[in-house]
Each structure stands twice: as C-alpha cells, then as structure tokens.
A and B are shown apart, each in its own frame.
Chain A
Amino acid sequence: MLEVRDLRISFRTEHGRVQAIDGVSFDVGESEILGVVGESGSGKTISLLAVMGLINDPNARIEGSIKLRGRELVGLEPREMRKLRGREIAMIFQDPMTAMTPVYTIGWQIAEQIMAHEKIGKAAALARAVDLLAEVNIPNPREAIHRFPHQLSGGMRQRAVIAMALSCNPALLIADEPTTALDVTVQAQILDLIRKLRRDHKSAVVFITHDMGVIAEMADRVMVMYSGRIVERGTKAEILLEPRHPYTRALLDSIPPLEGEKPKRLRSIPGSPPSLFDLPKGCSFAPRCPSRFERCAERPALEGGKHAAACFLKVAS
C-alpha cells in the first residue's frame, strides 16, 4: 500500500548540500508492521516525515517517489496532503510529554482531529474520543477527556496520543520511537497496545526504533538503515536469525539478553556514524566494519531479492 522508490532528501546548509537520505526504497503491505532500525542520525525520522509531507525546512529538497495506494505524494498540493495527514496516514512521535498542546484537554484535541476530517458535531466527536480512549485502555475515559496533558503520566499520554492518531482510522500509522521515552513496563504495555490496534483496525504500521529488542517483538519485516541508506532488509526471522550485514550483526550484539545474567557491559558498536558532510566514498560502514576488505572502497548495492544486504561479504559467504 505504501511504495517508496529511490527517495532522496538533501538539505542546503552553510557547509554545502548534505544528502541525508540517499536512494531509499521500501514497501509496506496492508496491515503489515515494518520495523525501521538504525542508530540515531541514520535518517529514520526524516524518511518517514517525508511520507507525511512534514519536512517543511525550506532548505530541504525531496526527490523520488512515495506512493500511497497508488497516489503519488511527492509534490502533492499542500492542501491535498493535509487532507491525507491524520486521516490516511497518522504519525506518533517519540516524546509523549511534549506531543500534545499543553493548553487543551485530551478530549478537545482528539475531537479537533476528527472534526478536521469529518463532518461531525462537537458532541459526537467527543463521544468518539471517549470510545477511543477506552480502546487504548485509559481508565475512566469519560472523565479523562476533560484532563489536560500534564495531568496524565507519560504512559497514559502516549496512549492518548495513539488514540488521537487512530481517531480517523488511518490506513498507515507511523510510530517514531513511541516507547523510547517510557520506562520498561510501560513500554511493554504500549507495544502490546500497538499490536492489538493493528489487529483491530487493520492499519499498516511503520515502527521506527533504534532497539533491536523492540524489533524482535513488533516487526513483520525489517529495514536496517545506516547514514541515510538501507543496508539490509528482510523478514524479521531473516534479520534476527541470519543477519548478513555486519552492521545488523553489530546491532543484534547490542541487545541485552532477555533472560539469564546480564553482561557487565553491553557490546556497543565501536566508533560512531560518519558525518553526512564526510561520508566514505565506498561502503559507509567501512570505517567501523570488522570484516572490511579491499572491495569495500566501492559502494555496495542493496542486492539479494527479498532478503537483501548492501555488503560485498554476501557474495563470499
């Protein structure tokens, strides 16, 4: 239902143009959960903000094609895009503490979204808001609609944000690290909730995270990003059990084990992602890659059909 082809996003900066997203292509099927994983700065957020049409930096240039159920979104009229946003595609963001306008009640904000897209009265919209809050397991929803965001805990706020995102039954929900700011038990509840909602609403979900552990719980298919490119993609089983790209393997090594004794220190990936101003000519992971060899001075393409990796090693193995 979502087809992204050769997406390129660059920003004009004082130090010249940077290519933040460089030729990213992916699909999301109906009611599928696509996990997008990568370290901070790898371009997860902006590639999906582009799908939402929410990159409004005047220095940005967006090229390529983004099709939602066959309709091209790149270059779509702002008015038309606005009609899709919140109705066909919804997005929830990392920090529930700041995601809602502090001066309006939860119910008001949910009703506002419904009324922006449907011809419906305020009372009916508020009644829908009550149902939605009940659906995301907020206790006492009839009373909760009168609460202001600061009166709810982080977990409850994220539930309210999810309820708002689902208020118009979007075909696609983009969740950008929705649990990163929450503590572990709340995180598990929110993940459960998103899975349940996917079942009930049949929405497709793009789930962004930097945590392979969350990917293991949530995703059907996985796309691994590194400095603005996809380095590996495949089904969850393929990525978790037979990772091909050294970066994917390094990310998997950094998951804390769910059971047994915790290691004293998690193995983290040595080095840090390259600056966008100074990307290596060949494989962008080369400076940090333990298996680097001569060919890596060239740029590896993403190859291998359904389970694809952008690494020269796969040919050898």
Chain B
Amino acid sequence: MLLALLRRFGQMIFVMFGISVLVFLIFFVTPGADPAARIAGRNASPETLEAVRKSFGFDQPVWVQYLTMMKKLFVTQDLTSFVNRGWKVVPAVLDTIPVTLSLVIGAAILWVVFGMLVGLIAAATRGSWIDKLLMALGLVGCAMPVYWLGEMMNLVSQSRYHDTWLFSWVPPLGYKNLSDDPRGWFLTLVIPWFTLAILYIGLYGRVLRANLIEAMQEDYIRTARAKGLSETRILLRHALRTSLISFVTLFGLDFGALVGGAALLTEVVFGLQGVGKLTYDALQNLDLPVIMTTVIYASFFVVLANALVDVVYILIDPRVRSA
C-alpha cells in the first residue's frame, strides 16, 4: 500500500515535470510570445526592451529561466505575472480553486447519481419505451453545447421568468464563498451544477446500461437467478458492482479534466472566476507564469483523480486487490 502510494507520488512528480517542461518549451518557440516586448509595452525603445530582458532574466539560457520559474513557483511562491506587473500568481490561482471545485464536485454528484439511475432503469427495462426515452434524452443532453445551454438557463432564470415563483430564488450570476454565505453559495451554484451535469448524465447512463446488459449475460447472473433472488437484487447486487469499472474510469478522466480547467465554458457563462476562466485569460495574453501555474495544478488533479480511481477499483473488485 505504501509502495503504491509512493509510486503514485513519483508518477505525479514526473507528470508535473514533463508537462511544465513541455509548456515552457512551447511557450518559447511560439512566435510573438516574447515576454520582454509585452512587459516593456508597445512602443518601447530597444534600450528599454534590453533592460527589461535583463531584469526579468530573459537573456539567460532557457533551462536557467525554467529553474528560476520553478523556484519562484514552488519555493518562494512569489511568481508574478508577465502581463499585470506585480500580480502574484500563486494566490490568484489558489483563489480560483474553491470556485472550480464547488462547481465540479456538485455537478459530479448530480451526474453520478442521475447517470446511475438512468443506466439502472434503462437496463432493467431494456427494449421498452422507458429505455428508449431515457436513451434519447441522454443523447440530447450529450449533444447540447454547454455554452448554449448555460445561456438558455440564464435567459430563462435571470431575465425572462425571473419574476415568476419558479425562478425568483435565483441570485445574480457570480460566486459566493461557502464559508461567508452558504445559502448564497448553494443558490448561485444550483443552475451551473445542473447545466454541467446534464452533459454527462446521458453519457454515463448509456455506458452503465451497456455494461449492465453485458453483465446480465454472465454465468454468475444465471447462478444468482438459480438461487431464487429477485431481479432487482440481481441487478443491484450482482450486476452493478462488476459493471462500474468503465463508469469509474470515465469519471476519473472527466473529473480530473474538469477540475483542471475543462469547466471553462460553464465558468464563463455563469460568471464564475474559476481555474478554467483564469487559464483561458492567461492563454489569451500568453501570460506564461499563470499558464504554468494552472497547468501544474491541473496535472496534479488529473493524477490525483487517477489515483482515486485506482483505489475505487480495489474497492469494487477483489481480483484487483490480489493482482
């Protein structure tokens, strides 16, 4: 167990290192990315440019610059933006994390619960109209662009029907701190949660349904029937456990990616200052320190999510334990 943890940790360091090097290199070969020109301003004289280059260390070899940046990021934590001078990057990223985590965790709970319900109900009623309806709705959910769906939700809940009993509870867009205003936190997030979750419910339901139907063909299901168990029990206790592997794998990938910034569109539509929004803005003006910090943070979460998935595998299937 300790060995596995250490291995995971080593893997995480390795992934974070690889990605940071990659980002660094891409940045330096990107045309027009010259940070000195950005910092010095549009009409800077060659002398100013040179001075900036020197004071920021851009005249040094790339690997020295890399090491300096890593030191500022991890050791002194005083890395500043190339674009907004003096803006400290690490606290800025740390500020966005609770926003993204609140959004993604809430949505994840919704899509896991509803995805599972959809998969179970569809598998139990396979071939019937209920099954077909659920699968069709799921497909619609997957196919809707989140940006569009979010805008529609806003249109309906913020303006059109905001004054009706149905949506009068919806607070204005923006994030409220959980610790300052738990009620506000919850209310502002309800609609974003559902918007983000709807994209995944159909997909997860479909995957689970396929795996359940496959599991129901297994020999041990016939044994379970021969034991005289009810169909519900067979589905929930015997077929579901072994069907969760793909579900969990998918969840690890999606959750890691979303926490790492892939919830960008949802964050933008609902005015949430999350990691995705921050990364997006930094990419717009090629702000390397910010990009670097968010990317490292994201890879940390991706690896963490994978490690959690491994733990869940072990809980689900004892065969993994002894392997």
Please determine whether A103 and B228 come into contact, CB atoms closer than 8 angstroms. no
The verdict on A85 contacting B222 (CB below 8 Å), with A101-B242, A103-B316, A148-B319 known, is no
The listed residue (A85, A87, A93) touching B219 by CB distance below 8 A is A93
A100→B319 CA distance, assembly (Å): 13
Closest Cβ neighbor of A102 among chain B residues: B319
Residue of B nearest to A97 (CB): B219
- CA separation between A56 and B126, bound complex, in Å? 14
B317–A102 CB distance below 8 A: yes
For the complex, what is the distance from the CA of A93 to the CA of B222, rounded to whole Å?
Answer: 9
B-binding segment of A112-120, A193-201, A237-245, A308-316: A112-120
Q: How far is the CA of A116 from the CA of B234 in the complex (A)?
A: 12
The minimal Cβ–Cβ distance linking A252 to chain B, given in whole angstroms, is 31
Please give the number of chain A residues whose Cβ is less than 8 angstroms from any Cβ of chain B in the complex.
29
Q: Is B220 part of the binding interface, using a Cβ–Cβ cutoff of 8 Å? A: yes
Closest to A89 in B: B226
Residue-wise, chain A 41-69 has the 8 Å CB interface mask toward B (1 for contact) of 00000000000101010000000000000
Q: How far is the CA of A79 from the CA of B316 in the complex (A)?
A: 30
Q: Does B250 contact A (CB under 8 A)?
A: no
- Supposing A98-B219, A151-B322 touch, asked if A103 and B242 sit within 8 A by C-beta, the answer is yes
Determine if A116 and B228 form an interchain contact, defined as CB atoms under 8 angstroms apart: yes
CB contacts under 8 Å to B, within A106-132, are 112-113, 116-117
Question: A58's closest neighbor in chain B, by CB?
Answer: B127
- Let me know if A161 and B322 touch, CB within 8 A: no
A66 to chain B, nearest CB (A): 16
Inter-chain contact B226/A52, CB cutoff 8 Å? yes
CB <8 Å contact, A103 and B226: no
- CB-based contact A54/B226 at 8 Å: yes
**0/1 interface trace, chain B 279-323, chain A, CB 8 Å (1 if under):** 000000000000000000000000000000000000011110010
Complex Cα spacing A117 to B230, Å = 11
Contacting residues, chain A, for B237 (C-beta < 8 A): 112
Residues in B with CB closer than 8 Å to A117 are 228
For the complex, give the distance between the alpha carbons of A283 and B22 in Å.
76
Q: Taking the complex as formed, is B218 at the interface, i.e. its CB lies under 8 A from any CB of chain A? A: yes
Question: B318 is contacted by which of A56, A91, A103, A161 (Cβ under 8 Å)?
Answer: A103
Q: Does B227 contact A (CB under 8 A)?
A: yes
A82 and B230 within 8 A (CB): yes
CB of B53 within 8 Å of the partner chain: no
- Say yes or no: A82 contacts B242, CB within 8 Å: no
Instruction: Report the minimum CB–CB distance from A86 to chain B (whole Å).
Output: 3
- Shortest CB distance A127–B (Å): 19
- Which chain A residues lie closer than 8 Å to B183 at the CB level? none
CB within 8 A of A113: which of B220, B228, B230, B317? B228
Instruction: Give chain A nearest CB distance to B104 CB in angstroms.
Output: 29
Q: Is A99's CB under 8 angstroms from B322's CB?
A: no
Is A90 positioned at the interface, with any CB of B under 8 Å from its CB?
yes
In contact, B220 and A98 (Cβ under 8 angstroms): yes
Whether B130 is near chain A, meaning CB under 8 Å from some CB there, is: no
Verify if B101 is at the interface (C-beta below 8 Å from A): no
Determine the distance from Cα of A99 to Cα of B225 in the docked complex, in whole angstroms: 11
User: What is A's interface to B at a CB cutoff of 8 Å?
Assistant: 52, 54, 56, 82-87, 90-91, 93, 95, 98-103, 112-113, 116-117, 148, 150-151, 161, 164-165
Residues of B that sit less than 8 Å from A by CB:
218-220, 222-230, 233, 237-238, 241-242, 316-319, 322
24 sampled A-B residue pairs with Cβ under 8 A: A52-B226, A54-B225, A54-B226, A82-B229, A82-B230, A85-B228, A86-B227, A86-B228, A86-B229, A98-B218, A98-B219, A98-B220, A99-B219, A99-B220, A101-B220, A101-B238, A103-B317, A103-B318, A112-B227, A113-B229, A116-B227, A117-B228, A148-B318, A148-B319
| Further 19 A-B residue pairs, CB within 8 A, beyond A93-B223, A98-B219, A113-B229 | A54-B222, A54-B226, A56-B225, A82-B228, A84-B228, A85-B227, A90-B226, A91-B226, A98-B218, A99-B219, A102-B242, A112-B227, A117-B228, A148-B319, A150-B319, A151-B322, A164-B223, A164-B227, A165-B226
